[in-house]
Amino acid sequence: MKVLVTGGAGFMGSQVVRELLGRGHEVLVLDRLTYAGRREHLAGLDCRLVVGDVRDRAAVARVLPGCEAVVHMAAESHVTRSLDDPDGFLGTNIEGTRVVLDAAARAGVPRFVHVSTDEVFGSVPEGVFCRPDAPLRPGNPYAASKVGAEALVHAWRHSFGYPAAIVRCTNNYGPRQHPEKAVPCWTLAALDGGPVPVDGRGEAVRDWLHVEDFARGLALAVERFRPAATWHFAGQQHRRNRDMAGLVARLAGGDGVRLAFRAERRGQDMRYALDDDATRRELGWAPRVPLEDGLRATVAWYREHRELWS
Ligand SMILES: NC(=O)c1ccc[n+]([C@@H]2O[C@H](COP(=O)([O-])OP(=O)(O)OC[C@H]3O[C@@H](n4cnc5c(N)ncnc54)[C@H](O)[C@@H]3O)[C@@H](O)[C@H]2O)c1
């Protein structure tokens, strides 16, 4: 299949490209190469990178001919940045999604897979796991922009009968993630001997999924595509941030590295959790990478690629 991956030079996108190529698909990447997207992430891969903006109708229309699937991942993705400057998030994540959706529908691309997040549900209490039809209650501008994007996917399905699916996943970790995000931030701090910065008292709970497991799930969503599907991919490896930071600190720097608690993120969502039972049943998917093994490999990757982030 010829697949267009928007945002394919980013952290998760570049792993999705690897997975799709490994399964014999042809891949074309459309990416603006913001601070989070890098050519190096695609080095040595047999795919074409077109540098362009998903908000640019003409640029999007140029890359669609011949594509049999679109995986739409391009986004502004860092919650803290969205608190300081929501505009770029609404532009890329909502308007960009509208442009890509509309262009793909007009070009008749028969599979559209939109990548979304567990954050669309907002903070959920202990014991609650969100099924695909749970109410959306975004708690920050990034999450709100992802809800807006999902709303457009629903509208294009409903009004125009466009075959589009939504994939939501929990926090990904692994190689090639920008150090503004938690795991690489903690890793690089610990490799330097610490301290490792943690928001608030580190009580927020996140569910961690290795990016290779996500990419395999995403490829299945493309191959076993079902219009109007909503698939959840979860690691079911839930950790308080202070525990996760402590684990990363130990793996990267040894027992002597200390955590440094700083101001809590404004509007911090205390817990995200997805129910992914239906996806596991339908796609026969389950994560394979145990958290500590995945983190050890991630730490090793950052140790070997420190020059990328200096
Ligand atoms: N990282 C996570 O844990 C996580 C969890 C759930 C969902 N998601 C979603 O997965 C997708 C990928 O996330 P990521 O962590 O790889 O993000 P990332 O920030 O590493 O990568 C985003 C990519 O999109 C590109 N991009 C940004 N604006 C663009 C624009 N206007 N036009 C074209 N390209 C543009 C960037 O250059 C970059 O390559 C996003 O849609 C995000 O919302 C991420």
pLDDT tens, per residue, the chain with 310 residues: 999 999 999 999 999 999 999 999 999 999 999 999 999 999 999 999 999 999 999 999 999 999 999 999 999 999 999 999 999 999 999 999 999 999 999 999 999 999 999 999 999 999 999 999 999 999 999 999 999 999 999 999 999 999 999 999 999 999 999 999 999 999 999 999 999 999 999 999 999 999 999 999 999 999 999 999 999 999 999 999 999 999 999 999 999 999 999 999 999 999 999 999 999 999 999 999 999 999 999 999 999 998 887 7
CATH of the domain at 28: 3.40.50.720
The per-residue pLDDT for 307 is: 84
Label each residue of the chain as H, E or C.
Answer: CEEEEECCCCHHHHHHHHHHHHCCCEEEEEECCCCCCCHHHHCCCCCEEEECCCCCHHHHHHHCCCCCEEEECCCCCCHHHHHHCHHHHHHHHHHHHHHHHHHHHHHCCCCEEEEEEHHHHCCCCCCCCECCCCCCCCCCHHHHHHHHHHHHHHHHHHHHCCCEEEEEECEEECCCCCCCCHHHHHHHHHHCCCCEEEECCCCCEEEEEEHHHHHHHHHHHHHCCCCCCEEEECCCCEEEHHHHHHHHHHHHHCCCCCEEEECCCCCCCCECCECCHHHHHHHCCCCCCCHHHHHHHHHHHHHHCHHHHC
Ligand 1 center from residue 42 Cα (angstroms) = 15
Q: What is the pLDDT of residue 7?
A: 98
Does a structural domain hold residue 216?
A: yes
pLDDT of residue 286: 98
In a domain, 196, yes or no: no
Assigned domain for 249 exists: no
Find the domain containing 54 and state its range. Answer: 2-175+210-236+270-288
Which among 73, 207, 213 is the best mutation to test ligand 1's pocket, defined by most ligand atoms within 8 Å of the CB? 73
Confirm whether 205 is domain-assigned.
no
The pair of three-digit structure tokens given for residue 109, joined into one six-digit string: 């691309």
Is residue 167 within 6 Å of ligand 1 at its C-beta?
no
Query: What is the pLDDT at residue 269?
Result: 97
Going by C-alpha positions, the residue among 217, 225, 212, 75 that lies closest to residue 150 is 75
194 lies in some domain = no
In tens, the pLDDT along 247-276 reads 999 999 999 999 999 999 999 999 999 999
Beta carbons within 10 angstroms of residue 158's beta carbon = 10
pLDDT tens digits, residue range 90-129?
Answer: 999 999 999 999 999 999 999 999 999 999 999 999 999 9
Q: Is residue 302 domain-resident?
A: no
134-149: per-residue pLDDT in tens?
Answer: 999 999 999 999 999 9
Task: Indicate yes or no: pTM above 0.75.
Answer: yes
Strands 238-240 and 171-173, bridge-based pairing: unpaired
Nearest CA to ligand 1 atom 8: 117
Taking CA atoms only, the protein residue closest to ligand 1 atom 36 is 37
- Per the domain annotation, does 229 fall within a domain? yes
Q: How many domains in the chain?
A: 1
Angle in degrees, CA 21, 22, 23, rounded to 5 = 90
In a domain, residue 215? The reply is yes
Q: Determine whether 35 is an active site residue.
A: no
124 close to 271: Cβ distance less than 8 angstroms = yes
Which residues are within 8 A (CB) of 255 and not within 5 positions of it... i.e. 6 or more apart? none
